[in-house]
Amino acid sequence: MGIGGNLWELNRLSEAERYQLEAIALESKLKGRHDLDTLNMLNDLALTYDRQGKLVEEEKLFREILSVEQEKLRPSHPQLAFTWTNLGWNLWVQSRFTEAEKAFRNALEIRVAAYPDDHWLLASSRTALATVLLERGEPAEALALTRRAKQADLKAYGTMHKETALAQDALAMALLAGGQPREAQTELDSALESRSKLFPADHPNVVKNLIYLAEIHYAAGELATARKQIDTDLSNVKAHGAGSDDKMFVPQMLVVQAQILTAQGENAAAQAAAMEALREAQQFLPAYVNVFADAEATLGLIYAQEAKAGQGIPLLQDALNLDNRIYGPDLPQTAQTAVRLAECLDAAGRTRDADRLATIFGRYLLASPDPSYWRESAWLQHRNATRTHGVQNARLAMKEAQP
């Protein structure tokens, strides 16, 4: 198993997988597949699958490990929290956020009983749970969790540590979701400062930090800064070759880039970025994860702006169906796609269908304090004002026409 581990460290994942499978087969003969030592090997193999993007195979292994641990260990054993956490992150990557939340809550419950309140493992669990709660439309709970996680990490590690930076990431996105982009940027700037001293520019932790910063600048309407941020991020990754650890981030980076370019009116470049995002995601991600909906929704919006509603409508309808399955109908992530579809339908002259979508989903978008949806909110408000003004003019004309 040592050879497999060394190959894993060298990012030679196919070779690592082969050696790990051979070691597991031998250990299973000697001790049994469900001996605790063999389970540790299965866990290492699952982490190799994770870096290869083999999410389904990874999930099967974590569920097998969890099932055996639940039989052999007491319900409050700390080892169970590690496996619940690993499974939770796998489900999070798969956009199965309800299941991920349950897994992270199980891990947190075990750790609350096992460790003092400021323990770093509790902080790690709170950060993980907060991350998925942001996808579940629970920014207030996420904010409370991330504040506690950051304070515990500062106490344990200080500012210059990757765990503190991870807590700051989650805290920043909770602040953004709550309508505080400036405070969010402060956290991310601090996290990036420490990461820049700890990791190379193409490290996944730096990559994710820069994605978040670009999203926050976009949310603040600072498009030039956002574009520079994401362009730098993509350039760093491509210059060093997209490694397995940051492979999952490349489609997300491209979607963010496409969205910024769309807002700047550079539709040709935006279209190229969105289509590249789809191609990258198709290489290693299952078609039910949220990055596909994000890319299709952005591409559909581009077509709407180019008076190609016939091409945009099917993409946006597919994205809306996917968002409905991932998030449900009453979260702003879904409402953003629905409003984009309404804009595309409006451009195609299907006013009644656009009205229906704007009425159903618009209230969820306008109720969100998250400034990330500024473009769609502005379109809704302009449309509502225009239609209200039109109705008032029509009523006035009818009144004047009366004898």
* Residue recorded with tokens 């989903």: 361
Q: Write out pLDDT tens, residues 51-86.
A: 888 899 999 999 999 999 999 999 999 999 999 999
Residue % of the chain over a pLDDT of 70: 91
The pTM (predicted TM-score) of the whole model is 0.90
Tell me: the pLDDT tens digits for 93-143?
Answer: 999 999 999 999 999 999 999 999 999 999 999 999 999 999 999 999 999
| pLDDT for 74 | 93
Sign of the torsion angle spanned by Cα atoms 312, 314, 317, 319: negative
Quick one: pLDDT at residue 401? 40
More confident call, 208 vs 102: 102
On whether residue 19 sits in a domain, the answer given is yes
Q: 358 pLDDT exceeds 60?
A: yes
Considering the domain boundaries, does residue 108 fall inside one?
Answer: no
pLDDT band for position 239 (cuts 50, 70, 90): confident
How many independent structural domains does the chain possess? 1
Q: What is the mean pLDDT of residues 145-173?
A: 95
Q: What is the reported pLDDT for 7?
A: 63
Give the per-residue pLDDT at 246: 56
Q: Which domain holds residue 31?
A: 1-72
CATH number of the domain encompassing residue 41: 1.25.40
Higher local confidence (pLDDT), 379 or 12 = 379
pLDDT tens digits, 26-37:
888 888 888 888
25 within some domain: yes
What are the phi and psi torsion angles at 116 (to 5°)?
-65, 160
Whether 168 maps to a domain, the answer reads no
pLDDT given at position 271 = 97
Q: For the residues 355-369, what does the mean pLDDT come to?
A: 95
Q: Is pLDDT at 394 greater than 70 in this prediction?
A: no
Q: Which amino acid is at 288?
A: Y
What pLDDT sits at residue 89?
Answer: 96
Residue 190: predicted pLDDT: 95
Q: Is residue 68 part of a domain?
A: yes
Q: Does residue 62 fall inside a structural domain?
A: yes
pLDDT of residue 155: 94
pLDDT of residue 18 exceeding 90? no
15 within some domain: yes
Lowest-confidence segment of 193-197, 200-204, 227-231 by average pLDDT: 200-204
SS (H, E, C) the chain: CHHHHHHHHCCCHHHHHHHHHHHHHHHHHHHCCCCHHHHHHHHHHHHHHHHHCCHHHHHHHHHHHHHHHHHHCCCCCHHHHHHHHHHHHHHHHCCCHHHHHHHHHHHHHHHHHHCCCCCHHHHHHHHHHHHHHHHCCCHHHHHHHHHHHHHHHHHHHCCCCHHHHHHHHHHHHHHHHCCCHHHHHHHHHHHHHHHHHHCCCCCHHHHHHHHHHHHHHHHCCCHHHHHHHHHHHHHHHHHHCCCCCCCCHHHHHHHHHHHHHHHCCCHHHHHHHHHHHHHHHHHHCCCCCHHHHHHHHHHHHHHHHCCCHHHHHHHHHHHHHHHHHHHCCCCHHHHHHHHHHHHHHHHCCCHHHHHHHHHHHHHHHHHCCCHHHHHHHHHHHHHHHHHHHHHHHHHHHHHHHCC
User: So what's the pLDDT on residue 10?
Assistant: 59
Q: Considering only CA atoms, which of 93, 98, 97, 111 is closest in space to residue 47?
A: 93
**pLDDT number for residue 395:** 37
Residue 320 resides in a domain = no
The arithmetic mean of pLDDT across residues 278-290, rounded, is 91
